[in-house]
Structure 1
Amino acid sequence: MLRETFVELLANYTGNTQLINELWAEIEKNYSSKKRHYHTLQHLEHLLKQLQEIKGEILHWDTIIFTLYYHDIIYNSLNSNNEEKSATLAEKRMRQISVASEHIERCKNQILATKSHAQSPDSDTNFFTDADLSVLGQDWSIYSQYYQNVRKEYFIYPDFVYNPGRKKVLHHFLSMKRIFKTDFFFGKFEEQARINLAHELAIL
């Protein structure tokens, strides 16, 4: 489904099948890295499923799907500029297939928004960042697998270094008036997300 959706997306902009296949291969390779445990193709599949539920609410569907595929294409747990690097690569690839500049800028802004998941004046961005956080509101069995996979991505850090940082993240979310900015995701995931975050915090 991921590959088919990507091919259909790019077919709107180029008839170069070889280029489309090369760009998909790059995405598949990056998201399948052995160093990744959460930021994987499965994460993209989950995001796509969440966004398809609200496709009618999205103003710029093509753009948000570009954002989906490229928002974590560059990911290294040691670096703090993954979003910036991902946005830069997204721009490069979108220019290769002649996507309009306004859509490229919108995509880049959405990718950068995943750094803080803050409220945006752009509704599509809020839908995307909420979808990106939707794992927080899944059943505990899924959420527990998520936070364990995140821990694996930071395996180089011992617990005495990792745990305080993770607690800071959990406290940050729990202190927010609303974790989810859109009414759709708020109603669907807010309550369970707070239960999950508090539970993980208690375990740490």
Structure 2
Amino acid sequence: MSLADRWPLDDHDDLRDELLAAWDRDGYHDRLHLAEVLDRLEELGSAGFDATTVALAAWFHDAVYDGADDDEERSAQWAERALPQAYADEVARLVRMTVHHSPADDDAAGAALSDADLGILATPQERYEAYVAGVRTDFAHVSDEDFRAGRAAVLADLAASPSLFHTARGRELWEEQARANVARELEELGRG
């Protein structure tokens, strides 16, 4: 199934096409990332939340991605302007939640989106290495030294959390492999 066929609304094809064009870029935050997040949402299931709303949040969560500090905010604002009111506020809230991937304990939709987005951490080594290379491309404007320091800080923060994933299913599917990948990358970054 093509990515276009995975658009969760029965209409608004112009918006879908705008989003596909926005995701058509180099680096990690590309169409493959969107497809993988949608795949992981399917793996997690949709217990306790509206699957259409969370899928729309996946479509918008990195739709604006140019390295600025307000990428998520601009993505959320796009959702607020472009989506039907029935979805706009919740999709924007979920997009904003991805800044820190810290959904509230009772936020099933936020937990699923966060887990689906961070699920890349649990991929086999070859895909994980391609992901890291893509992230480096996303931050090509940053020096190697600054990138290593920033990346290490992000990974150390993740590694310090009691769990990388917020859903029981996410922990079951991905926690062990994700921790191994994060630990390996931190070790590599430490060697410079």
In the TM superposition, what whole-angstrom CA distance separates every residue of 1:154-201 from its partner, at most 9, and x where no partner exists? 111111111111110111011111111111001111111111011111
Structure 1 runs not aligned, ≥5 long: 15-19
- AA aligned opposite 1:52: E
Alignment of 1:22-171 (within 5 A): 22-33=14-25, 36-77=26-67, 79-94=68-83, 98-100=84-86, 103-120=87-104, 121-171=106-156
Relative to the length of structure 1, the TM-score reads 0.87
Q: Contact between 2:64 and 2:74, CA under 8 Å: does it hold in 1?
A: yes
Q: TM-score, normalised by structure 2?
A: 0.92
1:179 aligns with 2:164: yes
Aligned residues: 187
Q: Secondary structure at the match of 1:53?
A: helix
3-state SS of the aligned residue for 1:57?
A: coil
Structure 1 outlier segments of 4+, above 3 Å: none
For 2:29 and 2:143, locate their aligned partners in 1 and report how far apart those are by CA, in whole Å: 21
Alpha-carbon displacement from aligned partner over 1:110-142 (angstroms, at most 9, x marks no partner): 101100001323111101101100000111111
Letter in 2 for 1:126: A
Q: Show the counterpart of 2:6.
A: 5
Q: CA deviation at 1:47?
A: 1.0
Identity over aligned pairs, percent: 27
Q: Tell me, yes or no, if the aligned pair for 2:139 and 2:147 is still in contact at 8 Å.
A: yes
Q: CA deviation at 1:58?
A: 4.8
Q: Distance in 1 between the 2:44 and 2:6 partners? A: 16
Determine the C-alpha separation between the residues in 2 that align with 1:177 and 1:23: 38
Alpha-carbon deviation of 1:25?
Answer: 2.1
C-alpha deviations, 1:46-85, integer Å up to 9, x for none?
11111112334252111111101111111111x1111110
Paired letter, 1:82: D
Letter in 2 for 1:5: R
Q: Distance in 2 between matches of 1:183 and 1:10?
A: 28
Whole-Å separation in 2 of the counterparts to 1:198 and 1:55: 28
Structure 2 unaligned spans of 5+: none
Find the structure with the greater CA-based Rg. 1
Instruction: Report the alpha carbon displacement of residue 89 of structure 1 after superposing the two structures with TM.
Output: 0.2
CA pair 159-56 structure 1, distance change in 2 beyond 3 A? closer
Helix, strand or coil for the counterpart of 1:76? Answer: coil
The Cα RMSD (Å) is: 1.4
